[in-house]
Structure 1
Amino acid sequence: MLDALKVIIFGIVEGITEWLPISSTGHLLLLNEFLTLSQGEDFFEMFEVVIQLGAILAVVVIYFHKLNPFSPKKTQKQKMMTIQMWIKVIIGCLPAAVVGLLFNDLIDSVLYHWYVVAATLIIYGILFIVVENYQKGKEPAVTKISQLTVPMLLIIGVFQMLALIPGTSRSGATIVGALLIGVSRSVATEFTFFLAIPVMFGASALKLIKYGLNFTGMQVFLLILGMAVSFVVSVIAIKFLLKYIKNHDFKVFGYYRIVLGVIVFLYFGITALLA
């Protein structure tokens, strides 16, 4: 039952950090130092995938009507606009999909280190503050997803591709990229949620193929528990973020990332020196 409690904590952390632009990888890296599951490394790799699935299902549920091009409650024009939105999402996902498929294992083996996570936490924290200061007082050029052009989508896609570097934060990178080209905070945030659907489902499918489904009954229970907790907390986190950005900017997340990055540097740096 101790593992069940740990799984709940992991699910809570994933649900919060997957959607707030503060890096789920950085938080899970630290958390795993103190709350290691006793089920083995392969199980934890699979567990990370499953709690991400719980998080992405929250977006699907919250935005189901908006994302559904076949809804009987939509007019023909609304259905066509929904299809066009999905085309924009696919275009925005292309850079990350191509690079992820080609170099996923290489990225994990070369870049998945604590000092990379710490550095990207700090770098993107600074970027949030700089971009927000740069855009202060300016009216956003894009206030609707329908206004996003193909070049804009590819720029946002490149920033999402950069999130393949551990510690970057997929939501953080795409939001920074969108803000830089004049997209409003609300559109940047919402479009980031939509971009996550194919990217995270695709990444999860690759991990499922890699690790398979050979688990004990207890492990299946832990996976389902973690996914459920991540789903519920994600719903709360998404609604909080959407409400928060109506009256606030992203600088607070930038400061938080810098502090967390310093903590990661100090903790793992000191641990390495003492080893």
Structure 2
Amino acid sequence: MKNLTTVIAVLSLLFLLGACSAQTSGEERELLVKTEFGNISKDDLFKEVASTERGKELIQKLVYMQILKGKYEVSDKEVNQRLDEIKEQVGDKDAFTMFPQKQGFKNEEELKEHIEQSLYFFKATTEDVKVSDKQIKDYYEQHKDQYTEVRTSHILVDNETTAKEIEKELKKGNDFAELAKKQSADKVSAAEGGDLGYLSGRSQDLDPTFLSAALKLKKGEVSEPIKTGFGYHIIKVTDIKETPLSEAKDQIKQALMSKEAKPVQEILNNLNKEIEIEEDAFQDAFKDVEPK
């Protein structure tokens, strides 16, 4: 690995155009567009790119990623694994179809490119961070709810009196699913016998009071009426799935390493020391910035 990475101005044009020819005195400027009112050359484009913040961002991205890819390794497997984790968090396949666009990416491939870049920076910021097996195990035990999924059904009503009456019916042995179909105000889940699917401590879109109550129940157990902003719920857990430590280990390790990661700006300032700039137009793009 060379100690210096040379930043040549034409790299920005390579990034934008795919190719660029150097211009020497006496040669006709290499034209990109001709009009009856004037022409645009690659030199004109270079000056425009070099004078804009967007142009500086492009050269920064190109150079920093070139150095990081020389120092670290990110495999397709790692990128796809992270993508699968995101898909799992989003949950619904149809919801994920629109997820990249909602996050500002054109498509899934652009999202994967962003994931790859993030992984390179993760490896750079956590290069010297060590995490022990004991730390991983302790974290797992302390955050067990995040690695436990409970399949939950509920009956939702708008007042406590009705909830208490349904609770009595259930204690008499009446079928939970049938009562949900007849009396639950949540008509979507009512049609499925109150079934809400699997929930976990990572289900951030749920009312925290409801989620906390559901995660405390054992398989087959029914809660007393639980009050939330939506009304009164009677909750039943029909199944429980736990992700074993062996499967959660890598994810936990990354979470713990992230807590000890160096600031990204510190990494960029270190990378700046490995750069030799040969075009004054890009001097400002690689100035050190004090970490916040």
In the superposition, the TM-score normalised over structure 2's length comes to 0.22
User: Higher helix proportion, which one?
Assistant: 1
Q: TM-score, normalised by structure 1?
A: 0.23
Larger Rg: 2
